[in-house]
Amino acid sequence: MGSALAKSITSDLQAIVPNLHWRYSGVTATNRMIAPLLARRLNVAWLGPDAPEAIARMTWRDVLALRFRHPRAPVIWHARRNNEMMAGLLLKALGWPLRPIFTSAGQRHHTWITRYLISRMDAVIAASEAAASYLKRPATVILHGIDTARYAPPADRDAVFRTTGLPGQYAIGCFGRVRHQKGTDVFVDAMCRLLPKYPDFTAIIIGTVTSDQRAFNDGLRKKAEAAGLAGRIRFLGELPIDDVPPWYQRILIYAFTSRNEGFGLTLLEAMSSGAALVAARAGAADKVVVEGETGFLVPTGDATAMAEAIEKLMRDPARAIEMGRKARERVLSQFSVEAEAGRIAAVYRDVLKAAT
């Protein structure tokens, strides 16, 4: 990148959104959704891969130029991972005018290194009250929002499902990394119980299989094959970013099966797309799902409870359609990504004001 462009990016920069992770993840998806909206409110740039549209992109050369800019106005460094906190603190210690802040989504006790890094942040945002309860310092709670235009119901769900060529009339989805923590095994167990009784349904699993999870994934595939359901429990693997929203439009029911989750953005993605929810009580499920209205809540790791709740909707697709309609309405009224961006921008402004 030329020096003139580097100067144009860094001259009035107010915030950096680093994405220091080379594999696409839920954290990356959250960043991609919110960063362009932050860029409408302040001068914000993206550092790292998977940059979304409508936001300036910067390189490490631009970061170097920032060290020598005048005047030395403070710049937010908004980290969401440990390595991003480390990078921000290191640069700050070496003289960069950074003000690191961190968004914490984890609902668990943090390791000593994470606690230390969090203690050094200029501000902390928690993605839920539960996440905030595990922090050893004050935090601003800002619930996630969703891009309701990107994740929108189809005009005709039956028609978009038929374009897949999959068997049956309806689909049930479970999206996210394929691993024990995400409860993919709970979903497969539930489907092995239910699909033989409901031939109009097909199960869809979308998500990355990392090298350390291949044996886990292979075991799930073998379980589906042993049940005679290889053709009706489809493992689609990792899909390009833009190919995922259309799959939400093709499913009638979404199963959120995580055993442990920071927030669980797929909950909002599915609801915004008009799918009925059956959700394990992990992440923000209790805050997002209205029991009996937009979906059902079940204990984590309980395949029997998951199957029983899903069966209520498989038995009555009209009820699932109505729940999906109400789920969309709830997201529109309560979980706007615009509102989330506004609250985060307010935190940025408070930190920048305090630093000047």
| Residue ranges of domains in the chain | 3-145+336-355, 157-334
- What confidence score (pLDDT) does residue 15 get? 97
How confident is the model at residue 8, as a pLDDT?
64
3-145+336-355 and 157-334, same CATH topology: yes
Q: Give mean pLDDT in consecutive 10-residue pieces for the chain, a chain of 356 residues.
A: 52 94 82 93 96 93 91 94 98 97 90 96 92 92 90 96 95 96 97 97 96 96 97 95 95 96 90 98 91 97 98 98 97 88 96 94
- Decide if 48 contacts 19 (C-beta within 8 A): yes
The rounded distance, in Å, linking the Cα atoms of 332 and 145 is 9
pLDDT of 334: 86
Entry pTM: 0.76
Evaluate whether 79 touches 18 at the Cβ level (below 8 Å): yes
For the domain 3-145+336-355, what is the CATH code?
A: 3.40.50.2000
| Residue whose structure tokens are 């000047």 | 356
Q: Is the sign of the CA dihedral 47, 51, 55, 56 positive or negative?
A: positive
Give the integer Cα–Cα distance in Å for 131 and 281. Answer: 14
What's the N-to-C CA distance of the chain in angstroms? 30
Give the integer Cα–Cα distance in Å for 174 and 267. Answer: 10
Class of CATH domain 157-334: alpha beta
Q: At what angle do helices 82-93 and 112-119 cross, to 10 degrees?
A: 50
CA distances from 274 to 72, 144, 247, 294, 339 (A): 48, 18, 12, 10, 20
Cβ contacts of 129-135, under 8 Å, gap ≥ 24: 129/287, 130/284, 131/104, 131/105, 131/106, 131/107, 131/262, 131/263, 132/104, 134/104, 134/106, 134/107, 134/108, 134/109, 134/110, 135/104, 135/110
The pair of structure tokens assigned to 213 is 């999870």
Which pLDDT belongs to residue 306? Answer: 98
**The token pair that represents 35 in the structure block:** 């960063």
Write the CB contacts of 224 (distance below 8 Å, at least 6 apart in sequence).
188, 191, 192, 230, 233
Q: How many CB atoms lie within 10 A of CB 75?
A: 27
The Cβ of residue 153 has, within 10 Å, a number of other Cβ atoms equal to 18
